Amino acid sequence: MSARRIIDDQYEIIREIKAGGFGTIYYGWDLTLDRPVAIKEIVKSLLGEKQYVDMFIDEAVNTARLNHPNIVQVYSLRKTPDDRVFIIMQFIEGVDLREVIDYYNDRNETMPKNMAMHIVSEICKALEYAHNLKDRKSGQPLNIVHRDISPSNIMLTVEGSVKLIDFGIAKARNRIVQKTQTGFIKGKVAYMSPEQLEGKEATRQSDIFSLGSVFYEMCTGEELFQGDSDFTVMKKITSGQIDFEPLKTVNLPEGCSDAIRKALKKDRSER
């Protein structure tokens, strides 16, 4: 029997949920408050890179300021004596949007339009809150941008709520991507905005572009930007040339198609 992994005599790591290039997420238990939690640990290979650890910590602190029903809460940040870093978060029982889209695709169906519109509406509420949040003391804008809106970062709970996750490390991941080979971001690049791929600073309009791409995929069942390599996908995104023809076949309510088109403008000032 393996030894129990307990952080600061309070949080027990029970099992792995998902592992990625930046960190691993575990299902855990708060031994003090007797409730489930999600525990995110930065990968060991990055522990020696101070800039990445600092970004991980800074972003966790910023995310802890977010208190909104459509954003997963950060409860605590813990650092152990052996310099391991953990973010303690709200545990969400449910599935991510990627799984839902795949579910309908496997049945040769598209997601019900009212469901797609509800999900987008809830994520818009989360982004409006985050984008406009101000520092409690100074009153200055915090300029919080997610930078990584994608189906895998949108959760649907068993109760029917919609939650945006990974605010905590989005900025850190974006910086890491810029310093690594393109292959590192396979599966993520398809939802990035043109300006992000051109190395420019992400803004709230970048989040709008990414959400527009997700909305398109929910309505049509197809990724908007596809290719045989990340480089091909990047060229399609930065070209600004988008085929909206598939939207005409899905009978979207009036205004939805226009909203998607506007969100996906190459010039961010037009979104």
Report the amino acid identity of residue 44: K
**H/E element, 11:** strand 11-19
Backbone φ/ψ region at 63: left (φ over 0), alpha (ψ -120 to 50), beta: alpha
Does the active-site annotation cover 83?
no
CB 72 within 8 A of CB 163: yes
- Beta-carbon contacts of 80 under 8 Å, excluding residues fewer than 6 positions away, are 7, 8, 86
Q: Are strands 74-79 and 35-42 parallel, antiparallel or unpaired?
A: unpaired
Residue 178 C-beta-side C-alpha neighbours within 13 Å: 16
Among 96, 148, 166, 230, the one annotated catalytic: 148
CA distances from 142 to 62, 65, 118, 133, 135 (A): 9, 10, 27, 6, 6
The two three-digit tokens of residue 76, written as one number: 């605590």
Residue 193: both structure tokens together: 């905005």
The distance in angstroms from the start CA to the end CA of the chain is: 55
Q: Do 191 and 170 form a contact (C-beta atoms < 8 A)?
A: no
- Contact call for residues 244 and 251 (beta carbons, < 8 A): no
Q: Which residues are catalytic?
A: 148
